Amino acid sequence: MIAQRKDDHVRLAVEQQRAHRGHNEFDDVSFIHHALAGIDRTDISLATCFAGVEWPVPLYINAMTGGSPMTGVINRDLAIAARETGVPIATGSMSPYFKDPSSSDTFSVLRRENPDGFIMANVNATASVEQARQAIRLLQADALQVHLNTIQETVMPEGDRSFASWGPRIGEIVAGVDVPVFVKEVGFGLSRSSVEALGKLGVRVADVGGRGGTNFARIENGRRELADFTYLEGWGQSAPACLLDSQGSSVSLFSSGGVRNPLDIVRSLALGAAAVGASGQFLRTLLDDGVDGLIAQICTWIDHVEALMTALGARTPADLTRCDVLISGALHSFCSNRGIETGQLATRSIASLNTRKTTGDTP
């Protein structure tokens, strides 16, 4: 049953990617062009630091799969792509392994193919502390992702219906494992109050996992006999909305959900993300163009991120948070409703020029 569900998720997610690559709220974030802001490509460092961790690039392959023979092959290929490009990678939820330990290989292949890479194990918020430890041990994981997915569970015919224990359980997991815990949504977003609550539980990274890419309300609705949850397909907040909502939080933020291209990565970094993850796009490339196609795509994305940072005058991912961005459309309306001031985002370079003038710093 669970192995079949994992295969269904892959099939339905890839169908979604093939059918829809249109507008999402990342398009409501644009940069002010400054013609003389450019720097030399050789000035760029893509390294990103957060929660005591350093990654060479601010891009990772986000959680997807494992638990069936087909998804074990996908995990092998994703691990090869991660190894060849140096990007961190997460496995999909390891609950199939807890239910059937004979599926362990479909997850541990991530470490076997990528012995030196940064690997994130993945569990749901009902996993016991012991299961979280087992997941970390199996992958010799460098971090643990815990996923939050109330809407997916709600629409999933066989899904959970009880969510009250999730917060306390995350606190127990944080206290009981010896790697950093990153909590992620699966495509409906994390609000500021969710991020703050996670911070209080000791979570080091909140991966906002916003709306606009892979849509698990639609995927699970497609698995229901009556398909009677169509009206939930627009639920949740986009990744840029979540990043703006949680600006200034003490928890490091990752951006994911609907990331389509290198510009979405740069937009995310400019809105304060420490790193940016993609799932559906990479899965589609892997299935359509093979592992070499995925490696080529990741290399191109990294190359283009460097190119865009060079034109924007940002030497590091953190420098992008000083670039001027305009917020428009539905994202602007979200900000107005939430009392988020967007004017200062559009004038950040002027503010930093004024600071330099008063302190006498040269640019």
Q: Which of 13, 57, 251, 265 binds ligand FNR (CB under 6 A)?
A: 13
Assign 176 to helix, strand or coil: helix
Instruction: Output the smallest distance, CB 266 to ligand FNR, in A.
Output: 16
Residue whose entry in the numeric block shows the structure tokens 């961790």: 53
Tell me 238's DSSP state.
Answer: B
Q: Minimum Å distance from CB 222 to ligand FNR?
A: 13
Rounded to the nearest whole angstrom, what is the least distance from the CB of residue 8 to ligand FNR in the complex?
Answer: 9
- Segment near ligand FNR (CB under 6 A); pick from 61-69, 320-328, 333-341, 345-353: 61-69
Q: How far is the CB of 158 from ligand FNR (least distance, A)?
A: 15
Work out which of 72, 280, 313, 317 binds ligand FNR, going by CB under 6 A. 280
For helices 280-312 and 69-85, give the axis angle rounded to 10 degrees. Answer: 20
Query: Which among 249, 222, 218 has a CA at the least distance from the CA of 232?
Result: 218
Span interacting with ligand FNR, options 188-196, 266-274, 275-283, 296-304, rule CB under 6 A: 275-283
Rounded to whole angstroms, the maximal C-alpha distance in the chain is 68
Q: Which residue has the tokens 């010799």?
A: 140
Q: Which of 76, 133, 169, 184 binds ligand FNR (CB under 6 A)?
A: 184
* Closer Cβ to ligand FNR, 187 or 272, answer by number: 187
Under 8 Å CB-to-CB from 354, ≥6 apart: which residues?
none
Question: Are the C-beta atoms of residues 199 and 252 closer than 8 Å to each other?
Answer: no
Q: Which of 3, 139, 198, 259 binds ligand FNR (CB under 6 A)?
A: 259
**237 is an interface residue for ligand FNR by CB under 6 A:** no
Nearer to ligand FNR, 58 or 257 (CB): 257
Any contact of residue 279 with ligand FNR (CB under 6 A)? Answer: yes
Considering only residues 236, 257, 262, 317, which one is a binding residue for ligand FNR as defined by CB under 6 A?
257
Give the C-alpha distances (Å, rounded to integers) separating 222 from 13, 148, 232: 11, 20, 12
Minimum CB distance to ligand FNR smaller for 124 or for 310: 124
Contact region with ligand FNR (CB under 6 A), list: 163-171, 255-263, 265-273, 355-363: 255-263
HSE, side-chain direction, 13 A CA sphere, residue 97: 28
Please report, for residues 77, 106, 111, 334, the alpha-carbon distance to residue 262 in angstroms, rounded to integers and kept in the order given.
22, 30, 27, 24
Asked whether the beta carbons of 341 and 283 are under 8 A apart, the reply is no
| Residues 18 and 8: beta-carbon distance below 8 Å | no
Q: Does 278 bind ligand FNR (CB under 6 A)?
A: yes
The answer to whether residue 209 forms part of the interface with ligand FNR (CB under 6 A) is yes
Asked if 64 is part of the footprint of ligand FNR (rule: CB under 6 A), the reply reads yes
User: Which of positions 136-165 make contact with ligand FNR (CB under 6 A)?
Assistant: 145, 147
- Cβ distance to ligand FNR smaller for residue 67 or 313: 67
- The 3-class secondary structure across 276-291, one letter per residue, is EEECHHHHHHHHHHHH
Contacts of residue 224, Cβ cutoff 8 Å, sequence gap at least 6: 155, 157
Q: How far is the CB of 207 from ligand FNR (least distance, A)?
A: 7
Contact between 9 and ligand FNR (CB under 6 A)?
yes
- Letters for 286-325 (x = contact with ligand FNR by CB under 6 A, - = none) are ----------------------------------------
Radius of gyration over alpha carbons of the chain, in Å? 20
And the tokens for 57?
Answer: 């690039």
Q: How far is CA 173 from CA 57, 64, 178, 203, in A?
A: 27, 21, 9, 10
Residues that bind ligand FNR (CB under 6 A): 9-10, 13, 62-65, 92-93, 122, 145, 147, 184, 186-187, 209, 213-214, 256-259, 278-281, 283
